[in-house]
A and B are shown apart, each in its own frame.
Chain A
Amino acid sequence: MRCEEIALYLPGYRGRDLHEATARVVEDHLADCEDCTAAAARFERVHVGLTSLVGRNAEPPAHLLDSILEAVHESGARKFFLPPIPALADLARTVLDNRDAVVSAAGTALVAAGAAYAMWRALRGSRRIEPAT
């Protein structure tokens, strides 16, 4: 490979982003080319600089921890407005315990809905205009 082609691989070479075979080609070239070795040293410096940032964090603002905890607790409190899973389980148990009452209430509701539907159909039919003969 020529130097111009090798130059395209140098940033990735130090960052270990190249395939093994390509990395070997670059390595072989660098062993014999002083110009490319000098260019590779630029990226070595970048790599060293980036590695020095590992574990080095900016100090967060003093209020950040309290803000996070407050927001999380508020979010948790809002959850109580939704039916939690144990409440659903309690509801299911109550329904099963009062099965007869629930079935009779459901039957009454069904009959009432049927009656309402029949009345609606009757009213709708009586309003229909007969075509002139």
Chain B
Amino acid sequence: MQLPRELVDSCRRGEPGAFDDMVRATHRSVYGLVLRIVGNPDDASEVTQDVYLRAWRGLRNFRGDSELSTWLYRIAANTAFSHVRRRARAGVPTDPENMPDVPAADETEHQADADLMDRALARLPAQHRAAVVLRDVYGWSCEEIGRVMGATEGAVKVRLFRARQRLADELAASGVVVPINRRRKKTS
């Protein structure tokens, strides 16, 4: 998600309507990220709204060192993760049953993988899901994830290990045939 330079500059200058345009351009992907972390559509809507309020208040402090979209994603992950932590402290579990089916943009060969993976992700504990989504879907570094989660890089790696292990088990249990691409033996 890359925003046009002019729109970013207009937002930073506080031009009327620019922030609204930015919300229009980004709210789908921000909602998508938030939903994958919080695991519940109602909470995701509330958190997404909160993300833009924070962005609106913090726009003056955005120095432009990174892409505006990266900055926005960081706010989204932070806000979503704070929400997950608050729910965990209150003893409220995330409800995977409420995860909506993600509509397919088109039929691709990865469609089945994506559907299966979305369902498997929904069954992970929130902290593991957040770690694996930010790392493997959004390409964040373990260090960045640690900053958002308030955890060390090592702790993030442990969560990633467990999440991937569990996902592999889920896929195996769902009867997915795992292709075994055996490597050729080295000849010396």
Contacts and interface: CB of A to CB of B under 8 A. Distances in A.
A53 interface: yes
Contacts, number: 153
Contact of A60 (B31, B113, B161, B167): B31
A83 to B, nearest CB: 16
A68 to B, nearest CB: 5
Contact of B113 (A8, A14, A52, A75): A52
Interface residues of A, number: 42
A38 B180 contact: yes
A107 to B, nearest CB: 39
- B interface, size bucket: 35 or more
A9 to B, nearest CB: 9
Interface stretch (B18-26, B65-73, B75-83, B88-96): B18-26
A95 interface: no
A24 to B, nearest CB: 13
Given A12-B160, A17-B142, A52-B117, A60 B48 contact: yes
Contacts of B181: 37, 41, 44
Contacts of B118: 53
B185 A31 contact: yes
B53 interface: yes
A48 B105 contact: no
B183 interface: yes
Interface string B166-188: 01100110001011111111100
Interface in A47-94: 47-54, 56-61, 64-65, 67-69, 71-72, 75-76
Interface of A: 8, 11-12, 14-15, 17, 28, 30-32, 34, 37-38, 41-54, 56-61, 64-65, 67-69, 71-72, 75-76
8 contacts: A15-B160, A45-B176, A48-B110, A49-B116, A49-B167, A51-B110, A52-B110, A65-B23
